[in-house]
């Protein structure tokens, strides 16, 4: 087997608070071990707490496709 490098764009994905619609939800580190897991988050603006299936902020990658 071998490795291959491919160019990609990197994105930071943030979840906007459903309550204040200003702040973003940030994971606290607490997890409820359900299936799927639920990650506790707190809004950095209003302090609202909630549980999400994805830990935010999240880093996502998108391949760069060459134009044909």
CA 43, CA 35: separation in Å to the nearest integer? 24
Using one digit for the tens of pLDDT, what is the confidence trace for 4-47? Answer: 998 999 999 999 999 999 999 999 999 999 999 999 999 999 99
Q: Is the pLDDT of residue 66 over 90?
A: no
Handedness of CA 31, 32, 38, 41 (dihedral sign): negative
Q: What is the pTM of this model?
A: 0.81
């Amino acid at each position: 087997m071998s490795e291959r490098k491919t160019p990609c764009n990197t994105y930071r994905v943030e979840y906007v608070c459903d309550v204040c619609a200003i702040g973003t939800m940030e994971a606290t580190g607490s997890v409820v071990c359900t299936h799927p897991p639920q990650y506790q988050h707190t809004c950095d603006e209003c302090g609202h707490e909630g549980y999400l299936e994805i830990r935010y902020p999240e880093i996502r990658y998108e391949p760069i496709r060459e134009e044909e």
